[in-house]
Structures are given as C-alpha cells and as structure tokens.
Structure 1
Amino acid sequence: MLFKDQVDFVRQHIKKNKLRVFMTILAATMGCAFLIVLASIGFGIQDTMRKEILQDQAITQVEVFPSENEELNLKEIKAVPFIGAIVQRTSMDTMTSFHFEDRMMSGDLRLTDMKEEEQSNLKLSEGRLPKNESEIIVGYHFAKNLWTDAERIKVEEGVEEADLPKGYEKSIIGKEVSLSLQPYESDGAFPERWDFTVVGVMENPAKDWIVDSSILMDESWLPKLTAAYEANGEQVPEIYTNTKIYTSSLEHVKSVTKDLKDMGYNVFSVSEQLEQIDVFFMAFKIGLIFVGTIAILISSIGIFNTMTMAVTERTREIGVMKAIGASPKLIERLFLMESAWIGIIGTLLAIVISYAVSFLANWLLPLVVGAALGEDEFSDLSITFSLIPWQLVLLASAMSIGVAMISGWRPARKATKIDVIQALRQEL
C-alpha cells in the first residue's frame, strides 16, 4: 500500500468518528498546553529575577572583603588575570553638608581614585569624570535634594511625597558647591569650607525607591579632611573602605571570583547570586514539568481508549486487509499513524494556545494585581509572569507526541493479532 493510500485510510476513519477524535485531540491539547503554561511560570519568574539583579548592579563587579584583622593586598589582587579596575571608595563616619547659593543638603561623601573609576566604566547621566582635585561628581538626586531653609522646615513638619520640594531644577553641571564637616557629637560645623565644581551626575539607580545623593571626590582629599578634625580638636572619625573589582568582561567574573576565594578573601559577585538562583529555579521548573507531565499522561488514557475502539470497530476491515495480503507491520503502522496524528494536531494546538495564554498573562496580571493591591505603579513594573523558551516547546512536544504514540502502540499490536477467519465472519 502506497503512503498516500495509508494517509487516506487514516483520514477516512477520522471522518467517520469526528466527535470522538475531536474530544481525544482536545484532551491531548489540554494536557500539553497545561505542561507548557505551568512550566512557563518558572521560566518567567526566573527571567524577571535575573533581569532585576543585572539591572541593580554592574554585571562585571566583584566585591572583595578582607579576612578579620587583615588588609587587602592590592598588588596580589591586580596580578589576577582579567581584572580591569580596582575601585576603593572610602567614607568617613561624619556629617557632610553641601551648600549651593541659598540651598543646602546632607549627602554621603565618598573618596575614590578617579582613574580607577574611569577604567571601571562608571556611567554618568550627564557631564564627565573629574580631571583635578577641585572637581566632583554627584548622585542622580543630588540637585533635587538641594533645599532652601523654608523648604526644609516644610519637609520636617511633614508633607506628602507628592508635595515634596523639587529642589534645584536646573542643571547642576558647572555649578560650584561648598563642603562643610560636622561631627555627630558636635553642635556646629567646622569653620573650614572647601569649594568644588560639579562636572558630572551619576546614572539614575535601577530601583525607583533608591535616592542617590552621594558625592564622589578624589581620594587625595582624605588627609586634608582628617587634618580638619585634628585642627579643631576633634577625634578623627572611623574610616571605612569598600573595595570593588571590575573584570574585563562578564564571562571572566566566575574565574576571578574563584581566584580571589583561593587567595583567602571573602568575595561576592553577580555570578554567585545568579548561580544560586539558577539552581533553585532548576529544581522549581523540574517540579512544574513533573506536574504538567501528569496531565499529558491522563490525556493518554483518552488516546488509548480511542484507538482501542478503532480496532474493535474495524475488525472486519482488518480481516479483509489481511486476507488480501496486508502485512502485520502495515496494519500496525496504520494505527500508529492515527495515534500520531492525534498527538501532532493536539500538540500544535497546545503550542498556539500556550503562547496566547502567556501573552495574556503578562498583559493582564499586572493590571489585576495592581488593582487588587490598590497600587497603580505595579502595572508599570517590568514583570514577566510567563516565558516560553523554545527548549520548553520542544520538550513538551516530544513528550506529548511520544505519549500519543505509546498509547496507540498497544491497540496497534492488538490489530495485528486479529484472526482473519473470525474477522470475516463478523457481521457488518
């Protein structure tokens, strides 16, 4: 029998039992779609968390902490391959105030090596990096927090977030600001003031709730600032140093992290955090796929029953085929083709439905959750509730079609064992 005749044979039987075949395909579609949609939740949440982590910090950044009572050996660290820059930001346990015209604000003062900052590709929203000691760069919200005395009093009295003063609304680039120091134990600031020119503004933090009012200036100012405490009879405050290493590319983060750990340092990097998340979600996705597989196995019961009924109804037809010389392999192939057809059509429909459900979930769920929580901002967040990678589609398709073929194999084998004489004696 030609392949075309085999296809016609299968199609004719399907036409005779449209409703039963339709319900079987529907069961296969629901099982496969359930697997894909359920597993897509794990992929979606994992994708959201990975994006959140990568947005929140430099992807080539590695934080290094010395062991107790030890210091970092920068020469040793610099010898590690693929390190692009070592940025050490120093801060003092004191109050720092910055004055501009009739405005003032308190910010976090950090001293750093500007050359290393440049090598680490420090990103600015506007301006440039300092070229001399009298130039500084400020945080994204620095200008917005430069308030007048009247505005500050208003804030201290209590106002809604929407009514907060807008601060200095023009560009702060090129403007001159003054720095003054005030110990926490003292009632007043030191008489000394140092003038700086703002030449750059750092990027807006990835998280909306972070307010960046920090100030970066050259590390050469540290001796001058500590000398001011000694000149005013005050104890020099505690000085803290945070060390961050930047690798030449993302693929080298893992190797650099391992090398630093082998040297005895405490290390934290994005790669470690991503690995922990990937391990957790791997187990989570396997669990979801296992649950979804149960739905496919349940649908296989329907395919098995359909194929068993097909064999029973076509006993005489099978007998005639055997009588005219049809081989058992041909008869088995015909029934396997029919079960495969059910699996393929059900899988194709499931893929289409799954992508539609995924799209609607990512569009509607933020709106629904935002309305339920009473937070309009939630609908604007970039959250992926469902993500369907092509690997998941291939896995689900292989499982769905494979289960359909296995479900049809037993009835197909039964068809090959039908006795020709008894089949021909069966009444039409």
Structure 2
Amino acid sequence: MNKRDMIDMALRNLWKRRLRTALTVLGVVIGTASIVVMVSIGIGMNKGFASQLENWGSLQVIDVYPSGGMEYDKETDSMKQTKKQDELNAKAVENFRQMEHVQAVSPVLEDYLYLTAGKYMADASFIGIEPGAMTALGYQVEDGRALSEEDSKAIVIGGGVEFYNPKLSWEMRNASEPPQVDVLNEKLGVTWDWSYGTRDADKTIKPVKVDAVGKMSADGNNGWTVIMPIRELEKIQKEKQAWEQKQNGGSSNGNRQKSKEYQRVMVKVDEMEHVQQVQQKIKDMGFRATSLTDELEAMKETTRMLRLVLGAIGAISMVVAAISITNTMVMAIYERTKEIGIMKVIGASLKDIKGLFLTEAAFIGFSGGIIGIIVSYGASFLVNFVAQRQGSTMQSAIPIWLALGGIAFSTAVGVIAGYLPAKRAMKLSALMAIKTE
C-alpha cells in the first residue's frame, strides 16, 4: 500500500464516523489551545517586562563603574568585594572597544547644572557622552535630531525639563504654570550658578552658550536629563572646579578628574543575548558592571513558577485529549475487526495496518492542532483587548515558533496515543478477525 492510498483510506475511515472524529478533534483543539494560550501569557509577560525596562534605557547597554566596590554574587547569594585592578580610564575604554560583540563605547560624565533661556532657568541632570554614540547607546530623540560627531556646543534636552522664573518664590512657581520655552529655537546657556537671574547671582559666572538640536520624550528615565558632548561637559566642570577652588580658598575636590578616571562607561552590545557574556568579561577585568538585563532576568525568575503552573494546566487538557484519541482508535479497531482480517488475507502487511491507524491518529492530532492554533490567536487577541481596556500590563504573545510547535506537538500526541491501538490491530489473527461479525 503506497502513501497516497493509505492517506486516502485514513481520511475516508475518519469521515465515516465524522461525529466521533469531530468530538475527538475537539478535545485536541481544547488541549492545544490551552497549552499555547498559557505559554503565550508567560511569553507576553516577559515581553511586557522588557518593554517596561526599555523605558529606563536600552537592554543592550552595560554600565561599567570603577572597581573596588561591593557587588552581588549569584553563586553565593551574597555581596562580595570586587577586586581592584585597572582604572576606568581611556585605556580601559579602548579595551572595551576591542571586545567581541561590542558595538559602541562611551565614557560618561554626570553633573547637576542649570539651563538658562533668557530670564528663565531650569535645573537638570547633565550627562556627557561621545556625541556620535548617542543613538547607539539608546537615547531616543522625539523632536529634532541626535548628537553627531561634529557637535561641540550642541545639547539634547529631555521633555520633562521645566523652566521657571528664578525671581519668583517657590510658592508662586508651584501655583503658576511653567513658562513655555521653545528650546529648539531659543538661545540657551549652561551654568552652575543656582542663583542665576536673581540679585544674588555671581556676575563672574558667564553661562556657556549651547544650542539645543533635539528633544527626548518626557517619559522614561531620560525625561529630566540633558545630553551633551563629553568634552564640552569636561570644560564646564573644569571651570566649575576652578570657581569652587577660589570659593574654598584654593582647595579642590576634583581628584577623580585629575586622575582621569571616568565616573562611568557605557558599553553597547550588538545583540541582547550577548549582554551577559560581555558583562561577565568586564567583571573579570575587575570592574563593576550592571545592565537592565539583570533586572529582566530577575523578573523572569519571579514569573517562572507561574509559567510552569500555566503550562501544567494546559498539559492536563492535552493528556485528556490523548486519552480521547486512544479511546477513539480502540473503538475503531473493534468496529473494523473484520476489515482488518480481510486486509491481512489479501496481502496487506503488518506495517501497512500499523501505518493506517497511526495515520488516522496523526490526522486527528494535526487537524486539532491547526484549529487549536486558530482558536489560540483569537483567545490571545481577547486577552490583550481586555487587559488593555483594564490598564493591565498582562498580555499574550504567540510567536511563530510557538504556533508551529503547537501543531507539531498535537500531531505527535496523536501518533503516540494511536500507537498502542495500532499495535493491537497488528496482533489480530486474520482467521479470527474474518469470523468476527
């Protein structure tokens, strides 16, 4: 019996008992849909976590800090002292650039300064980076453009930075709406004089003129920050330190800048799956390294048990469906005993008889899997719709591999469930089977 004849006969046998076949397929549909939907919720939760963390920054960026501090050790579940090796300086930055899978590297300077716009001012956290690496490091611009290699006096402002009139009291500022400043078309300056614009302002401090070339979203971790070229921020810090030195009678606290050791270095990895690998290499060099993937892994760990429970619930439905397939195939053998005997008498091999019943069982699993995946997509859409209406972060996501895996799994369950009935059909005596009415 060739493959085509076997498939044709299997389909005709299933169609003869279409009600029973439909009910058995329904069991597979429920089992497949249960597993896929339950697993998709777990996948959706992980995607939701990743989406939330992306508002804080890029998941492919590693923050590197000078060595000599304390860090968490997963193996011992405790804090341990990091070993002191190289300084986090230009040499270390160049070593990071030479690492495999590293796409971009930038030292980072941070300071709390003030923006000036005419009679208004705004306080913000200033971050100095290599301007050409801004986009690669995950800083997304909503209006205007990002910094480029040619920029020196350019800045990009977070949408949450608010200006105010320094001549007004705190009570008046809080009671009135903040002034609307078109930063992309306004002449701006940077100063460290917190009393700028008032009678107490230090006339010796001249704001450094800058041009805003872009704005970031007010949402997320960078809504209240200002990004500027690191070399320009270094100049401002030197001027600030010189001013502080005069104010303090000649003393200065700029030891870190004198040693040319950076406060932080950002390392962009080409793919998220390589982040932990690169991060561990940096730690092995003696530096402290953290990334948002650490937070993501912790979130995934907390939901792992929930995902196992959801998968187990779906698996129970599939076990019931497998029992239903086995029952259907056993009943088919009892009803077709004489037919099996005739097939053996006219020359059908045991392999053909076994293949026929396994093909019927496979078709039940396959068709149930196809319909189950369709139902799963509908259920997934419904879950996402209800979650969105209620403002919940829960969501369902069915990637293509899960859909194909669901169909393959249901087909395999059908074949496995039909194996014992097929073996039983093979063992039937041809003479006894023909005598059976």
Deviation at 1:352, TM superposition (A): 1.4
CA deviation vs aligned residue, 1:337-358 (integer Å, no higher than 9, x gap):
2111111111111121112222
Cα offsets for 1:225-253 (capped at 9, x unmatched)? 23333444588679986312334744775
Q: Which residue is 1:322 aligned to? A: 344
Which aligned pairs between 1:277-296 and structure 2 lie closer than 5 A?
A: 288-296=310-318
Q: Tell me the distance in 2 between the aligned counterparts of 1:421 and 1:238.
A: 101
CA distance in 2, matches of 1:328, 1:233: 99
Match of 1:349 in 2: 371
For 1:17 and 1:248, locate their aligned partners in 2 and report how far apart those are by CA, in whole Å: 58
Q: Report how far residue 24 of structure 1 moved.
A: 0.3
Unaligned runs of 5+ in 1: 158-163, 371-377
* 1:198-217 equivalent positions in 2, closer than 5 A: 198-201=210-213, 203-205=215-217, 207-208=219-220, 211-214=223-226, 216=228, 217=232
Report the Cα offset of residue 89 of structure 1: 0.8
The separation in 2 between residues aligned to 1:91 and 1:14, in whole angstroms, is 75
Is residue 196 from structure 1 mapped to residue 196 from structure 2 by the alignment? no
Give the letter aligned to residue 200 of structure 1: A
1:147 is displaced (CA, Å) by: 4.5
Q: Which residue of 2 aligns with 1:385?
A: 395
Deviation at residue 384 of structure 1 after TM alignment: 7.1
TM-score by length of 2: 0.76
| Alpha carbons 2:189, 2:207 under 8 Å: kept | yes
Residue 108 of structure 2, aligned match among 74, 84, 88:
88
Supply the distance in 2 between the matched residues of 1:248 and 1:15 (Cα, whole angstroms). 56
CA change 1:120–1:256 in 2 (3 A) is: farther
2:63 equivalent in structure 1: 63
Cα shift at 1:15: 3.2
Map of 2:182 onto structure 1: 170
> Once the two structures are superposed, what CA deviation does each residue of 1:286-314 show, in whole Å capped at 9, x if it has no partner?
66444433321111111111111111112
Q: Which deviates more from structure 2 when the two are superposed, residues 383-392 or residues 30-39?
A: 383-392
- Post-superposition shift, 1:191? 4.5
Q: Which residue of 2 aligns with 1:22?
A: 22
**1:192-214 deviation per Cα after TM superposition (whole angstroms, max 9, x unaligned):** 33223231255424845864154
Is 2:201 aligned against 1:179?
Answer: no
1:416 aligns with 2:426: yes
Q: Partner letter of residue 157 of structure 2?
A: G
Give the TM-score, by structure 1 length. Answer: 0.77
Aligned partner of 1:105 among 99, 122, 125: 122
Partner of 2:242: 227
Are the counterparts in 1 of residues 183 and 212 from structure 2 also a CA contact under 8 Å? no
CA distance in 2, matches of 1:12, 1:88: 72
Which secondary structure does the structure 2 equivalent of 1:424 belong to? Answer: helix
* Structure 2, unaligned runs of 5 or more: 70-83, 257-261
Q: CA RMSD in A?
A: 3.8
8 Å contact kept, 1:323–1:420: yes
Distance 1:15 1:43 in 2: 38
Amino acid paired to 1:193: I
Deviation at 1:34, TM superposition (A): 0.9
**Matches of 1:131 and 1:415 in 2, distance apart?**
80
Tell me the secondary structure at the aligned position of residue 158 of structure 2: coil
- Which residue is equivalent to 2:415? 405
2:325–2:418 contact (8 Å) kept in structure 1: yes
* Aligned counterparts of 1:118 and 1:16: Cα–Cα separation in 2: 70
SS for the counterpart of 1:137 is strand
Q: How far off is 1:335 after superposition?
A: 1.8
What whole-Å deviation, never above 9, does each CA across 1:305-345 have from its counterpart, x for those lacking one? Answer: 11111111122222333333333332222222211111111
Distance 1:169 1:73 in 2: 38
The letter for the 1-side match of 2:344 is: K
Return the alpha-carbon distance in structure 2 between the equivalents of residues 201 and 142 of structure 1. 16
Bigger Cα displacement from structure 2, 346-355 vs 270-279: 270-279
Tell me which of 116, 135, 139 is aligned to 2:157. Answer: 139
AA paired with 1:390? I
Aligned partners of 1:392, 1:200: CA distance in 2, in Å?
Answer: 46
Distance in 2 between residues matched to 1:214 and 1:335, nearest whole Å: 70
> Hey, what's the Cα distance between the residues in 1 that align with 2:350 and 2:218?
67
Rate the CA distance shift 1:315–1:140 in 2: closer, same or farther, 3 A.
Answer: same
Number of residue equivalences: 399
Q: Helix, strand or coil: the match of 2:355? A: helix
Between stretches 385-394 and 47-56, larger displacement belongs to: 47-56
Aligned pair in 2 of structure 1 residues 196, 19: CA closer, same or farther (>3 Å)?
A: same
Contact 2:340 2:425 in 1 (8 A): yes
**C-alpha displacement at 1:68, in angstroms?**
3.6
Which whole-Å CA distance do the structure 1 matches of 2:227 and 2:401 have between them? 47
Correspondence for 2:266 among 217, 226, 245:
245
2:242 maps to amino acid: A
